[in-house]
Structure 1
């Protein structure tokens, strides 16, 4: 733990003092100095996301694209000065083509398909019903991904609790569990585990994390039940009652055929991880083939197949579903538009921060499970958890262990791999930007009248309810 604290203290000190730079690996052959001040646009964008809705909400809502573009330019232009126009262009295109494009297409596909499924009935949002919904959604996340489960479950949960005044805590715990923790059991569940699978971690290895997930579920659901029961009693005391005549007697799902399109999207994600390893998709040098864009940037054929399949699933979902279902779901494009705008800025401006992480990762001396758990998790709370996971998995693979899980990056002990995986998946719940579905759930909740906490307000909830659970995880599983 001391090494972890030292590492973050060192990183924070560098950011505050803004020295000339940190030596990082360039293209793999030479070393290139990464000026720490190039991280300022990323920090500035995060600060805008956190503060602007509090001080100028209407202006922020109208001018998000302009603010995002400003921070992108403030990163790209100095980056081009330091590294050259060609390197800057290649970095931005690499980020957009190989990271952001598949990310936003997946979100778009799941958003569209889930919006065409509606669950209705006489179930009212009581503490017991909500516990069951969260438990089901958490387990579902490992089957169709945290994003898929979040998009499928968020509207029914909001609808069943629409009669209540005090309900923001329900969506906060929804983000904690359904949008993050539940994705730890399979490579389908969360992108970091898919990257591990692509590098030799067995597909079903993640089931080793089941005891950790069950441990966390028991604690989180117990706490949630009592928090929700207190809020529920206050709502009832104020005369609020659900509009149902015969509780629990009717329940039906419309648009159920869209499950086919959800499966189609899940299949596309799995194929994106499997196809690159097949010789049919590799050239003579063993590189994955694709469409050359610029420099070393290539849109690979497996990624293109994934994109086409997901967009086709979204198109067929809309064509085969009556628009009345979307109307009952209060379906609008606002949430996906906001996520698309904000995350293009986040993905591009965080590139210097990722370069620093890749440079520092192998040299910070972290080797124990508890250190890897906190380091991976803390950085995954603000950076993309997929590259963060890969940095620490690579670091673990170079430590020279002889026993454990054999990957293409080296042999990693089971306990160490578990710590890295749990850190990346679980701690994405610490902030709204830690995992893509977090912000999507917040946006949909806001659209439907749920008064979600601010950026810093949400972090306060995670500090109170999540961090103590992570401390228990460390003591029980990663010491």
Structure 2
């Protein structure tokens, strides 16, 4: 084992030497970063595709092995991108691209999820709920309504455990979690910039904070249709459970305890986190945070990579809040919630691989997105949504928001990118937020909810199994969206 470790260390050292040789460092200096998307070959996206297929197939074929070794799979695909990229374009550019992804996107992304995960885990909805179709539909509706105001992650983490607890007696439960992901972890977050990161990016580029409320008719249509579908499916499954002799607790003589909120002071911490997110969108526009060249001030890391002061402030606030939440909450509440670190650990590992390996795909998309000839709302709705299902929906939103701003609209939303016709911005916004529900990796809360469900004994569908549910239940609703709102 020691010799194997030495061999891998030797190989890695040799590859680093090749990447950092003067020839390759010089090569990085000769390439304009803005041209990268035009010169990168499509096969540079292979590590990203491999990352997605690993998540989809290895976890299905060898689930136990995947759980123990997924971090090594992530490292493999990351190195398969970084090393060839560094050899061809120079170590400097490779390091800069990776740091830009990690410092500029991943750290704030994972710290926000961590903060919401910690604080929500310290809130317990104690008491007993009847796990029947009516109660389940009500919980999912409340979650969908809450998601726009405390974020899809916050709403998901608060309500997923009570939902699982109330349905613990059920034999058929995976469909409940699937629709929870559809509505609470994704679609519910479209009404404010706090709800989902793409809308926050729009707010940072001049879209008014409350403009997202224009999406309410689309939100209401999707929530109503999907809740109706869910109620029908859950009623069928409920009857099958009863037919199999699985009786709900109240029919077994159990006395239900009244509902009460324990650890309610953590709601204050949730508000602070939401405020920190809003600040991260407001501070970069203030003169105190802008240098003479118009760039946001921060700590220089490497090349053009800067760790901005607004991002540092946001991170500091969120981590402080998470610490205070743990210090001021009794551990019995976390025990009652079956709180573990597994869900956030899985998201942190998988998404660092996704963020790094998708760099070529995003660079290519940024270079060619505006030239795709997309000038109709329906087209932007589907292309933004399709890519948001597999890529991070925030940069995808920005690419097609930029594309929409180049269409020469005279009337619409006045942003820092230009005027965007309202229906076009609605299409991009809904595509990015709604279709994150199409896959487990479309939005980070999806994986977190799945992980928590499996920790509690619910066998969730595989990557492709979940995709079948989304195709069957979501795509027909999105077709209605297109016909009603985006034609």
TM-score scaled by length of structure 2 = 0.92
5 Å matches for 1:425-440? 425-440=433-448
* 2:265 equivalent to 1:223: no
Q: Tell me how far apart the structure 1 counterparts of residues 128 and 372 of structure 2 sit (CA, whole Å).
A: 55
**Residues 26 and 32 of structure 1 are in contact (CA less than 8 Å); yes or no, is this contact kept in structure 2?**
no
SS at match of 2:360: helix
* 2:477 equivalent to 1:469: yes
Deviation at 1:450, TM superposition (A): 1.0
Structure of larger gyration radius: 2
**Residues 124 and 247 of structure 1 are in contact (CA less than 8 Å); yes or no, is this contact kept in structure 2?**
no
Q: Tell me how far apart the structure 2 counterparts of residues 156 and 107 of structure 1 sit (CA, whole Å).
A: 19
In the other structure, the counterpart of 1:110 is: 116
- Equivalent position to 2:391, from 341, 363, 383: 383
Deviation at 1:341, TM superposition (A): 0.6
Q: Tell me how far apart the structure 1 counterparts of residues 146 and 44 of structure 2 sit (CA, whole Å).
A: 39
SS at match of 1:256: coil
Q: Tell me how far apart the structure 2 counterparts of residues 222 and 198 of structure 1 sit (CA, whole Å).
A: 35
- Equivalent position to 1:137, from 137, 140, 143: 143
Q: Tell me how far apart the structure 1 counterparts of residues 236 and 168 of structure 2 sit (CA, whole Å).
A: 17
**Residues 382 and 431 of structure 1 are in contact (CA less than 8 Å); yes or no, is this contact kept in structure 2?**
yes
Q: Tell me how far apart the structure 2 counterparts of residues 280 and 443 of structure 1 sit (CA, whole Å).
A: 42
**Residues 123 and 247 of structure 1 are in contact (CA less than 8 Å); yes or no, is this contact kept in structure 2?**
no
Which consecutive residues of structure 2, in runs of 5 or more, have no partner in the other structure? 1-30
5 Å matches for 1:46-125? 46-125=52-131
Which consecutive residues of structure 1, in runs of 5 or more, have no partner in the other structure? 1-24
**Residues 77 and 357 of structure 2 are in contact (CA less than 8 Å); yes or no, is this contact kept in structure 1?**
yes
Deviation at 1:339, TM superposition (A): 0.9
- Most deviating of 365-374 and 57-66: 57-66
Q: Tell me how far apart the structure 1 counterparts of residues 344 and 36 of structure 2 sit (CA, whole Å).
A: 40
5 Å matches for 1:406-425? 406-425=414-433
- Equivalent position to 1:295, from 277, 295, 303: 303
* 2:486 equivalent to 1:478: yes
Q: Tell me how far apart the structure 2 counterparts of residues 410 and 381 of structure 1 sit (CA, whole Å).
A: 27
**Residues 122 and 246 of structure 1 are in contact (CA less than 8 Å); yes or no, is this contact kept in structure 2?**
no
SS at match of 1:418: helix
Q: Tell me how far apart the structure 2 counterparts of residues 241 and 260 of structure 1 sit (CA, whole Å).
A: 39
- The Cα offsets for residues 17-55 of structure 1, whole Å up to 9 and x where unpaired, read as xxxxxxxx9534787501111100110011010011221
**Residues 152 and 189 of structure 2 are in contact (CA less than 8 Å); yes or no, is this contact kept in structure 1?**
yes
In the other structure, the counterpart of 1:285 is: 293
**Residues 37 and 367 of structure 2 are in contact (CA less than 8 Å); yes or no, is this contact kept in structure 1?**
no
- The Cα offsets for residues 85-144 of structure 1, whole Å up to 9 and x where unpaired, read as 100000001111111101111111111111111112231111000111011000100000
SS at match of 1:155: helix
Q: Tell me how far apart the structure 2 counterparts of residues 29 and 338 of structure 1 sit (CA, whole Å).
A: 34
Q: Number of matched residues?
A: 455
5 Å matches for 1:53-452? 53-244=59-250, 245=253, 250-452=258-460
**Residues 104 and 340 of structure 1 are in contact (CA less than 8 Å); yes or no, is this contact kept in structure 2?**
yes
Q: Tell me how far apart the structure 2 counterparts of residues 225 and 47 of structure 1 sit (CA, whole Å).
A: 33
- Equivalent position to 2:33, from 1, 20, 27: 27
Q: Tell me how far apart the structure 2 counterparts of residues 110 and 194 of structure 1 sit (CA, whole Å).
A: 16
**Residues 188 and 270 of structure 1 are in contact (CA less than 8 Å); yes or no, is this contact kept in structure 2?**
yes
- The Cα offsets for residues 50-97 of structure 1, whole Å up to 9 and x where unpaired, read as 011221111111111111101000000111122211000000011111
- The Cα offsets for residues 162-194 of structure 1, whole Å up to 9 and x where unpaired, read as 111101000000000000001110000010000
Q: Tell me how far apart the structure 2 counterparts of residues 83 and 385 of structure 1 sit (CA, whole Å).
A: 27
Q: Tell me how far apart the structure 2 counterparts of residues 31 and 453 of structure 1 sit (CA, whole Å).
A: 36
TM-score scaled by length of structure 1 = 0.93
- The Cα offsets for residues 361-419 of structure 1, whole Å up to 9 and x where unpaired, read as 01110000000000100000000100000000101101111111111111111111100
Question: RMSD over aligned Cα, in angstroms?
Answer: 1.3
Q: Tell me how far apart the structure 2 counterparts of residues 247 and 177 of structure 1 sit (CA, whole Å).
A: 31
- The Cα offsets for residues 237-269 of structure 1, whole Å up to 9 and x where unpaired, read as 222233345777611111111111111111111
